Amino acid sequence: LSNKIESDLQEELIQVKTSLSSIQSELQSLLQRQENLQERKSQLESEINRRVSSSSSQLDGEQDWSSEDKYDPIEKYGNFQYFPWSKTLRSTLNSTFHMNDFRPKQLEVINASMSGRDVILIMSTGGGKSLTYQLPAILAKGITVVVSPLVSLMEDQLLGLRNLGIEARSLNASSTKEEVKHVHQSMTSQSPSFRLLYVTPEKISKSKRFMAQLEKCYKAGNLSRIAIDEVHCASQWGNDFRPDYKILGILKRQFPNTPIIGLTATSTDKVTLDTKKILNTPFALVFKTALNRSNLFYQVREKALSHDDVIADMVELINTNFSRDAGIVYCFSRKNCSEVSSSLNKRGIKSAVYHAQLEPIEKSRVHQMWTDNSIQVICATIAFGMGIDKPNVRFVIHHSLSKSVENYYQESGRAGRDGLPALCLIYFGFADVFKQSTMVMTERTGLDNLNQMVQYCLDLKSCRRNLISTYFGENWDSITCNEMCDTCAGMYEHSNIDVTSACQSLLSTIRLAEQKGEGNRLTGAKVVEAAAGRGKNKTLELKKFSASEVQRMIMHMMFKEFLREDFHFTPYSTISYLVPGPMASAL
Ligand SMILES: Nc1ncnc2c1ncn2[C@@H]1O[C@H](COP(=O)(O)OP(=O)(O)OP(=O)(O)O)[C@@H](O)[C@H]1O
């Protein structure tokens, strides 16, 4: 038995040894292959470098494309002579886009993106963001996919591109089966029939079929670039958060070698950082043009109490300064839009309303009438926004304040896109502050944002440009306002009055009302009424101040946290009561 076991073991040992030696020889051959491949790789790399640098010097003189380390990245991308595509780029700018030169930052952004870098571009409205992906799209072999939030926006872009003779398509809910088929086929074809493909973010987040097609397009080497318009919509810290944008991080994960370019007109540093995180583009280069719009005159006017008085003021302003010019009046609600529009029409200023509830066909009709100047004014809610490309808007009036400085910058920025002077005016009313606060209180940073907007309106001393720049974390001290805002133009006179005891009196009125119990608490309007001595709660201290002065005091007290709002919910509405704030005892 022992002999038998020994011979079996011997046999097994021989087998193991044989298979071990075959594994060893296989390993050897794999190592050899790896070595060969590595050698081939370095051969190819040096060949690529050789070709790139030779094409660079061929096209652009003596510049050495391979020695990029010498250059500061941002400066490097602005160097016209540096890149192999530089000459073609400029000639295409002239011949296809009929433009003479690049605007600030356009060239840097295009070069960075064409070098394969992810880029985020923050450029003021009308600054020329579209060119930064449209021009590279023409020079690229494959397709540039453009994620755009609105179908109407896409249509405008397609029309513009078609006029320039550039082939572009869009895929959205109203695309026909044939169109979809054609686009899908082209995405994987050797020579696609179009350069740009516009899709909504929903297409990326919801259509598995489209994503599968995009995957094929990428594998076929046809996905040359992805542009994401209004990219700030990805961040919850921004003013326009859209859940579908949050999914767009999938693009970098699935298509790591395709450069992404995100575009926005407004983004605070916090929003930009968050956007990079969401898009999975931590190394994206951020390019920012100064947000200053030097041709816009910023002004705030105290809003009269009656609707008719506000309209009378507005009509006089329009008739005196803008009798033949187009403008926008932003209103708080749909009802507001209708009231303002009908009042303007009655006084001879042709206007129409625009809000989210209008049928799409009516929206286009109104937009068109305004674009071709058959109406002078659009009375709109903030639904009238993205994609307005009318260059000669001479005034944007806010019938009530915006919900944040960011919103205001964007809404007012629709004025003067042609670079000529335009007016941005807010009618600042006390009651509007509370209307807004009851609307935004459910948003994460709603009340803080509104607070900053109120501060902007309350401030009668600081330059409005500086107030906006501080909000965006920019420093425009070096930029002269050139008296292009009401405060710098010296439109207000100041005198210093100590209002401490008046404010203390307001606070005691509010405390007293609160002590009387739930049903006696005071809204902002009731506090002003009490101060004026018209209501039940008379206070002599405050009688010497006008209602408007008391309103300003109350708003300052809210800002300094001597007062705060306490929201009460009824089945029909939200009521804001004023109550002592955390700093009340300090007063
Ligand atoms: N280099 C340039 N030279 C001349 N005109 C330009 C240049 N770049 C862009 N434009 C023009 O400026 C206008 C605004 O450009 P574009 O629509 O791209 O702005 P935008 O930054 O996307 O604005 P918005 O944020 O409002 O959409 C367009 O009419 C465009 O043709």
Domains of the chain (ranges, CATH numbers)? 73-288 (3.40.50.300), 296-489 (3.40.50.300), 499-580 (1.10.10.10)
Nearest-CA residue for ligand 1 atom 16 is 128
Question: Measured from the CB, is residue 149 less than 6 Å from ligand 1?
Answer: no
Distance 264 CA to ligand 1 centre (A): 13
Question: Measured from the CB, is residue 96 less than 6 Å from ligand 1?
Answer: no
pLDDT in tens, 75-101: 677 776 678 899 899 999 999 999 999
Pick from 80, 93, 99, 289 the residue to mutate for probing ligand 1's pocket: most ligand atoms within 8 Å of its CB: 99
The residue behind tokens 């890149």 is: 83
- At 417 the pLDDT is 86
Question: Measured from the CB, is residue 131 less than 6 Å from ligand 1?
Answer: yes
With both helix axes pointing from N to C terminus, report the angle between 151-163 and 360-371 in degrees, rounded to the nearest 10.
Answer: 50
pLDDT band for position 59 (cuts 50, 70, 90): very low
Question: Measured from the CB, is residue 102 less than 6 Å from ligand 1?
Answer: yes
pLDDT band for position 452 (cuts 50, 70, 90): very high
pLDDT in tens, 498-520: 999 899 989 988 998 888 877 77
pTM of the model: 0.72
Distance 96 CA to ligand 1 centre (A): 15
pLDDT mean over 281-303: 91
* Alpha carbons 131 and 150: distance in angstroms, whole number: 18
pLDDT in tens, 354-409: 998 888 788 888 988 998 899 999 999 988 876 677 889 999 999 999 999 988 99
pLDDT mean over 37-55: 61
Tell the burial category of 174 from Cβ atoms under 10 Å away from its Cβ (0-12, 13-18, 19+): exposed
CB within 8 Å of 78: residues ≥ 6 apart:
107, 108, 111
Report CA torsion sign: 485, 487, 488, 491. positive
- At 239 the pLDDT is 64
Pick from 89, 98, 130 the residue to mutate for probing ligand 1's pocket: most ligand atoms within 8 Å of its CB: 130
* Alpha carbons 385 and 424: distance in angstroms, whole number: 15
